Chain A
Amino acid sequence: MTDPEIDRRCRVLREEVRDFLREEIRSGAITPQCDAWLTGFDPAFTRRLARRGWMGMTWPKAYGGHERSQLERFVVIEELLAAGAPTAAHHTNDRQVGPMILRCGTEQQKQTVVAGIARGECVVAIGLSEPDTGSDLASVRTRASRIDGGWRISGSKIWTSYAHHAQYLIALCRTGESREQRHVGLTQFIIRLPDPRVRIRPIKLLTGGHHFNQVFLDDVEVSDDDVLGEVGGAWAQISAELALERSGPERFLSTFPLLSHVAGAAGASSGEEMLCAIGELTSQLWSLRSMSMDVARMLEAGRSTNAEAAMVKDLGTRFEGDVPERLRAFIAAQPTAASADPAQVLLAQAILQSPGYTLRGGANEILRGIVARDLGLR
């Protein structure tokens, strides 16, 4: 079960990442934040990680990867998350865009997009949701129609994070006619940005921050070379990524910087209630990490883990929201992002981002439906 060589490499790597992050924080290059994997967009930091070989770690060297194990990648990802490092400029690209293109993309797509992500120089936005399509992803209406030598795409995508910084947009489109079989006839396209027929409208968050956009596709023309994977095969391509997307450590570490800060400031003289709260949250976190690693190992062994991954995300994202709710009693002030006290800032971040935890990557109610299916209830 244990490979001592991989264990040793993981330990060495973990210390390297920790040393690097300590120096980044000490020098003021980065500041720990809650939810930084989605809201901390810092391309310079992403390039520094790429130079150290911490992007595309498991990918083939031919496309800029480093051919390391999934466990080593897990170590780097969780260390970045635990430190609250700003990884939003690459997190989803490293997690799912690169692996998807490597699995079903063309040689040309691998040479340009995958290699660009590995260098930390390429941002790809993912266009799945639409104004009328959220949890029910198979209901997408953006349409791609055949034209000579390519496709013409019309429709609109919404909640598209970082489309305004992206060099590419991957758009899920309907290419088939079937109304009965909603899961067939879906195709993904890689659209180069900027494009005069792609209009990007910012959608500000309740924090005032900006990563969401609505993207309007007005007769955008792409070539056959821009199809990602099979025409009509997008549903299977997307589903394959979901277990990995759902069970990763970003589903329970988004508010860890707050818990870490409060635990680090506590001591023997702290009140019993505070120690109990820290202990309860630590116990939940520890078990989630153990579950998440179990899923990673099952995936590596080629086993199906849809239900287990959904459980990690359901429990983990509720835990992310519990952290500020449970700890606010011990932070003696009204939280504000403008404070000089890091506890207040982290608490404000954790609260203001909290509506997203249980929604992104599939609403928890939908995920429980996946678990229920696995339990034989539907």
Chain B
Amino acid sequence: MSSDTMLVDTLARLLEAKSRPADVQAAEQEDGWHATLWRELDALGLADIDNFDPEHGLVDQLAVLQLLGRHAASVPFVESVMIGQWLCRQAGLDAMPGIVIVVPLDPSGGVSAAKAGDAWQLAGTAAKVPFARAGNRLLILASGPDGPVVASVDPSDCSLARSANMAGEPRDTVRLDGLRLPASSVCPLPDGVTVAALWERGALGRAAMMAGALQRALELSLQYAKDRKQFGRPIGAFQAVQQNLAILAAEVTATRAMVDLAGRVQGGRHQRAAVASAKARAGRAAGIAARIAHQIHGAMGFTGEYPLQLFTRRLWSWRDEFGSDRDWARVLGALAAAEGPGGLWPMITAAGDR
């Protein structure tokens, strides 16, 4: 699959038809995620990392994610394709059909693995696991006696408590009470794969989704400013409203530019810095954009029936997932400082110039 416009067009049409605000709201009320939409994505080949060209893989995945964010699609693309299947691939595990969820996706996660003869025993709890309830397979990251291990687990062998983020998306608690697994289900986390690297992919994925959700918040605000009349004219005719919409548009553009750049520099020396920059930028934009978009919409904007809330609740949630803007700003600041005197500018100019 190349980053051609055909894929993007096909996906955009699908989402226009199947991820309308009413569909998103219905999904939130029912399972908390949109299983039928995921099956449609799967039919397009978008649910499987193997269908993404390794050359452009991540750039294509970010294009998909921007569209999913623009339509508030409640599907585990970041979790299963960008992280779960990628980990399978990196760890040399057999490709797994269906949705693969890594648990816990948190550098401070708390599951431990102990040897019990030839078998393993897993114990611990992971909270706020995105889309755990949707997983066909859970890959448990656990600290073993000789370093981190990854264990392949059937979700029905865990106890799962449902929970959700502010947008109503699944963020479940997974508990393992001394689950016994055969040695064949457990392997060491391969060299070069760290929890931090998985977390970084999640941050980039969320930043791309945020770019899409920001775009939609702008579109809704523009349309509302043109349609809504007060004092005899559209509120968008007032300079005060225009100024705010221009600021909102600039935040959207800046976020997208940084996400695109972070996608292009993957594999380069400053990959981590660029992801940190993208997530920090998206998080900053989220707060500004949500405030302006709601201010323009007045009371209508924060009703349940009007679609703006589907996007602002996601922006408010996503900005804190896989590391907050502040967390990533600290990472980026430390990386910049580590470049030494005069090192910041070469870092920014090193890569990503098309």
A contact set with B: CB distance below 8 Å: 1-2, 7, 10, 14, 78, 82, 256, 259-260, 263-268, 270, 272, 274-280, 282-291, 293-294, 297, 307-308, 310-311, 314-315, 365, 367-369, 371-372, 375-378
Contacts and interface: CB of A to CB of B under 8 A. Distances in A.
A267 to B, nearest CB: 5
Contacts of A376: 222, 226
Contacts of B260: 290
B332 A377 contact: no
Contacts of B137: none
B328 interface: yes
Contacts of B276: 279, 283
User: Which A-B residue pairs are the 9 nearest by beta carbons?
Assistant: A279-B333, A275-B333, A279-B329, A368-B246, A264-B341, A279-B332, A372-B242, A287-B258, A371-B246
Contacts of A310: 246
Contact of A263 (B225, B328, B337): B337
Contact of A286 (B245, B331, B334, B348): B348
Interface centre among B243, B255, B281, B337 (most CB of A within 10 A): B337
Nearest to B260: A290
Contact of B330 (A263, A272, A375): A272
Given A287-B254, A314-B250, A377-B237, A282 B326 contact: no
A265 B341 contact: yes
B330 A275 contact: yes
B145 interface: no
B336 A279 contact: yes
B17 interface: no
B339 to A, nearest CB: 8
Interface size classification for chain B? 35 or more
Contacts of A277: 329, 333
B27 to A, nearest CB: 31
Contacts of A311: 246, 249-250, 253-254
A72 to B, nearest CB: 12
B338 A282 contact: no
B353 interface: yes
Looking at chain A's contact residues, is the secondary structure mostly helix, strand, loop, or mixed?
Answer: helix
Contact of B333 (A256, A274, A287, A308): A274
Contact of A279 (B222, B225, B242, B331): B331
Given A278-B336, A282-B336, A259 B344 contact: yes
A266 B249 CA distance: 33
18 contacts: A2-B354, A259-B344, A260-B345, A268-B334, A279-B328, A279-B333, A283-B276, A283-B284, A284-B284, A286-B281, A287-B254, A307-B249, A314-B250, A315-B251, A369-B243, A375-B222, A375-B249, A376-B226
Contacts of A278: 332-333, 336-337
Nearest to B332: A279
Contacts of B96: none
A368 B254 contact: no
Contacts of A1: 354
Given A368-B243, A371-B249, A377-B236, A290 B261 contact: yes
B257 interface: yes
B107 interface: no
A364 to B, nearest CB: 9
Nearest to B340: A264
Interface string B314-354: 00000000000110111111101111111111001100111
Contacts of B254: 284, 287-288, 291, 311, 315
A350 B82 CA distance: 42
A287 B338 contact: no
A136 to B, nearest CB: 14
Contact of B245 (A260, A264, A372): A372
A140 B328 CA distance: 49
Given A286-B277, A368-B242, A369-B242, A270 B222 contact: no
A78 B260 CA distance: 21
B348 A289 contact: yes
A377 B250 contact: no
Nearest to A294: B257
B280 interface: yes
Contacts of B341: 264-265
Contacts of A375: 222, 245-246, 249
Contacts of B261: 286-287, 290
A147 to B, nearest CB: 43
B280 A283 contact: yes
B329 A283 contact: yes
A280 B245 contact: no
B184 interface: no
